Amino acid sequence: MTIQALLLDLDDTLVDHRGAADRGLRTWLSGLGLADSPAALEELVERWFVLEARHYERAQRRELTHAEQRRVRIREFLPGWDLADDALADDVFAGFLGCYQAAWRAFADAAATIERALRAGLPVGILTNGDQAIQTEKLRRTGLLRADVPVFASSSLPAAKPDPRSYLTACARLGADPARTLMVGDSLRHDVLGAREAGLQARLLDRHGRYDARRTPPGVVAVRGLAELAWQAAAAS
């Protein structure tokens, strides 16, 4: 595979978002005294991630602001609490947020992959759905933020993944031809199918073996870790 530039997803590609959210959520719930049994805890954890997926996606479609999707999530998650006041809803959500941020960790192969691509002469960018300030801080805290690797977050782009404008804007800012740019991420929809539709090359990062040939469209190539990525840098033209 010959490429001219590399775009990497952030959450669950470079940084273990799901693991951090799971660990942070369990710590927060225990502190609130809501996890009174293992079964109740697991039910709450499952419900949290259902609500996260539903309302975070709405925020990416710009139906809600980032702050509004947090408020909707916490109100639905704790329906018995009186969280009609926005400031109170924000304060309660902040309890989870602190636990989540304390659990942020970069995957062991993340920094090495970025360094390897840069040493090969490839421009590297991070293309992520989310708030620019939050995602940049996540990279800073996990030691992945670099001056030579721009962060393209959806809050600062014309649209979020999988809208073609997100990938094409990132490629333009990197000065790269989309057809010679590789997008890598853990989401089949956001990081592979959307990127291919926009004319990029793509690889699916399947760290946990969730996908097989029956669950992926023809032509989708998956890797189990970033270290498995193989490329040859192309000369820019």
Q: Token pair of 79, please? A: 């329906």
pLDDT tens digit sequence for 164-196: 999 999 999 999 999 999 999 999 999 999 999
Q: Which residue has the higher pLDDT, 219 or 155?
A: 155
Rounded distance, CA 4 to CA 227, Å? 18
Mean per-residue pLDDT for 72-87? 96
CA 236 from chain center: how many Å?
A: 28
Summarised one tens digit per residue, pLDDT across range 95-116 is 999 999 999 999 999 999 999 9
Task: Examine the pLDDT at 53 and tell me if it is beyond 80.
Answer: yes
Angle between helices 86-102 and 17-32 (to 10 degrees): 120
7 sits in which H/E element: strand 5-8
pLDDT score at 37: 87
> 30-48 burial string, b = 16+ CB within 10 Å, else e?
eeeeebeeeeebeebbeeb
Contact 189, 195 (CB under 8 A): no
More confident residue, 76 or 1: 76
pLDDT score for 237: 43
Termini Cα distance of the chain: 17
pLDDT the model gives residue 64: 94
> Could you report the per-residue pLDDT of 37-46, keeping only the tens digit for each?
899 899 999 9
Per-position DSSP letters for 104-168, written without gaps between them: --B-TTHHHHHHHHHHTT--EEEEESS-HHHHHHHHHHTT---TTS-EEEGGGSSS-TTSHHHHH
The span from the CA of 124 to the CA of 170, in Å, is 10
**Res 235 pLDDT > 50:** yes
pLDDT of residue 4: 95
- In sequence order, the β-bridge partners of residue 128 are 153
Which pLDDT band, with edges at 50, 70 and 90, does 31 fall under?
Answer: very high
Mean pLDDT across 17-36 = 93
- Helix residue ranges, H only, the chain: 17-32, 38-60, 66-77, 86-102, 110-119, 132-141, 164-174, 194-197
Cis peptide before 162 (omega within 30 of 0): yes
Confidence of residue 54 (pLDDT cuts 50, 70, 90): very high
**CA trace torsion 21, 24, 27, 33 (10° rounding):** -60
Instruction: Please compute the mean of the pLDDT values over residues 207-216 and round it to a whole number.
Output: 79
pLDDT at 47: 96
Q: How confident is the model at residue 213 (pLDDT cuts 50, 70, 90)?
A: low
Mean pLDDT for all residues in the chain: 94
- Is the distance from CB of 95 to CB of 24 less than 8 angstroms? no
- Bin 209: left if φ > 0, else alpha if -120 < ψ < 50, else beta: left
Which pLDDT value is given to residue 86? Answer: 97
Backbone torsions φ then ψ of 66, nearest 5 degrees: -60, -40
Q: How confident is the model at residue 36 (pLDDT cuts 50, 70, 90)?
A: confident
Measured distance CA(167)–CA(189) in Å, rounded: 13
